[in-house]
Copies of this chain bind each other. A is one copy, B any other.
Amino acid sequence: MQNFTFQNSTKIIFGRGVEEQTGEEVDKLGDKILFHYGGGSIKEYGIYDKVMDSLKEEGLEVVELGGVQPNPRLDLVKEGIDVCRQEDVDFILAVGGGSVIDSAKAISIGVPYEGDVWDFYSEEKQIQESLPLGVVLTIPAAGSESSPGSVITKEEGGYKRDAVSEELRPEFAILNPEFTFTLPEFQTASGAADIMAHVMERYFTHEPEVGFTDRLCEATLRTIIKNAPIALEEPENYGARAQLTWASTVAHNDLLGTGREEDWASHNIEHELSGKYDITHGAGLAIIFPAWMKYVHGEDPKKFAQFTSRVWNEETNFDSLERTAKEGIEKLETFFERIGLPTRLDDLEVEVTEADLVEMADKCTDRGPVGNFVKLDKEDVLAIYRLAN
C-alpha cells in the first residue's frame, strides 16, 4: 500500500426533501449567489422552484446563469466569470449534474484569477484560490459533488481537459435521490457506466496490499450492477435511486483510491471521443473501458480474474486465469448492452474514420503516455480505439 493523505470535508446532505436546507447552508457562506444550471429540466420538474424558494427564504440575492451543456464549454464559463465580477457574486450554487458542477467549479476559480481560466486546464497555471461553491445534485454519475476535479471543453480545437485542486472541492452537496426519478433512461445508464468507470480506474492497479480498498471497490461495483437495472425498470424506486446516488459520490470521493496507484487511461481516451463528437461521457466510457480491458488484461490476469470472481460472481477457472479474466470483460460489456449503452464506436450516430482515430490517439497522448496500469503511448491508444470500433 502506498502512503497517502485523505481528507474530504464536503458536507453531504442526503435524502428526501433535503433541498429545503439549501438556503440555510448557502447563507453560512455567501450573500450574493450565482445560481448555475443547465437546460429546462430543473424547471420542468420543479427543482428550480424548490431551490430558489429555499434561497429566497433566507433573503439571499440571486443571479442566474443557465444554459450549461453536457461536456460544458469554456465560453459559458467565461460568461459566468464576467457575471460574477459585475454582480459581486460571492458564492456559486450549481444545480444539476456533473457538467453544471464542473462549469460552476471553473467559474469559481476564474473569478479571482486575472488571466485566462483555461490556463488551469492546460496546466500552465496552478489554482490558488476560488469562490466557495455548493451543489444541488440531479444526476448521479460524475461524482463532482465532492471531488476536487473539473472537466471543461474548449470548443476551439475540441479540447476536453481537467483541472484538479482542493480549491475545487464543494463546501456542501445536497443529494435528494427523488430528483433522479425523471432522468431519461439513457442518462441513468450513462451515469451507471460513469460511476463504474470511476471505481475501475482505481481498481486496476499493480499496487500490492490493497485488499481492503479492492473490497470497497467491489462492493460499490456490485451496488451499481444490482441497482441500475432496477432504476431503469422502476424509475421511481427510491431505494435503487438512493443507492446509485450515494454510491456515485463515494465512488469518486477519493476513499476508494487511498493507498493505490490509480489508472485513468480510459477517462483520457474517452475525453477525446466526447471532446470531438460531443457524446455523453458515460456512454463513451461504456465503449472505451471494455476495449482498454481487452488490450491490457494480459498484464495481470490475476487481478482481472478477481474482478470476474468477486464482482460478477463467476467461478474461477484455475487452469486458465486468462479465460476467467476475459469472462469478466465480457460480463461488463454485456451489462452495458443490457442497460442500453453503446459498446462500439459503430453504435454511435457519428461517423468515425481511421483518420479520426489517429487524430484522437495523437491528441490523447500529446502530453505524454496515459495510464498507469499500463503506460499507453499513441500506438497503444490507437489500438484501443480500433478495438472499440
Residues of A near any B CB (own CB < 8 A): 1-18, 208-209, 211-213, 215-216, 218-220, 222-223, 226-227, 238-239, 242-243, 246-247, 250, 255, 258-259
Contact = CB atoms under 8 A, between A and B. Distances in A.
Number of copies of this chain that the complex holds: 2
A226 B212 CA distance: 10
A13 B258 CA distance: 11
Contact of A2 (B12, B15, B213): B15
Contacts of A220: 212, 215-216
Contacts of A10: 7
A107 B7 CA distance: 25
A5 to B, nearest CB: 5
11 contacts: A1-B239, A3-B17, A3-B18, A5-B11, A15-B259, A208-B239, A212-B247, A215-B222, A216-B219, A216-B250, A250-B255
B239 A209 contact: yes
Contact of A212 (B11, B16, B211, B223): B223
Contacts of A12: 4-7, 258
A70 to B, nearest CB: 26
A17 B238 CA distance: 45
B11 A7 contact: yes
A165 B276 CA distance: 50
Contacts of A8: 8-9
A11 B8 CA distance: 8
A11 B7 CA distance: 5
A11 B10 CA distance: 13
A12 B247 CA distance: 22
Q: Of A17, A209, A258, which is in contact with the most chain B CB atoms at under 10 Å from its CB?
A: A209
Given A7-B12, A12-B7, A15-B3, A209 B259 contact: no
A219 B223 contact: no
A209 B7 contact: no
Contacts of A223: 211-212, 215
Given A1-B246, A8-B9, A209-B238, 11 more contacts: A4-B15, A7-B10, A8-B8, A14-B258, A14-B259, A211-B226, A212-B223, A212-B250, A215-B223, A216-B220, A255-B255
A31 B247 CA distance: 41
B219 A215 contact: yes
B259 A1 contact: no
Nearest to A242: B1
A231 to B, nearest CB: 12
B219 A246 contact: no
A258 B13 CA distance: 11
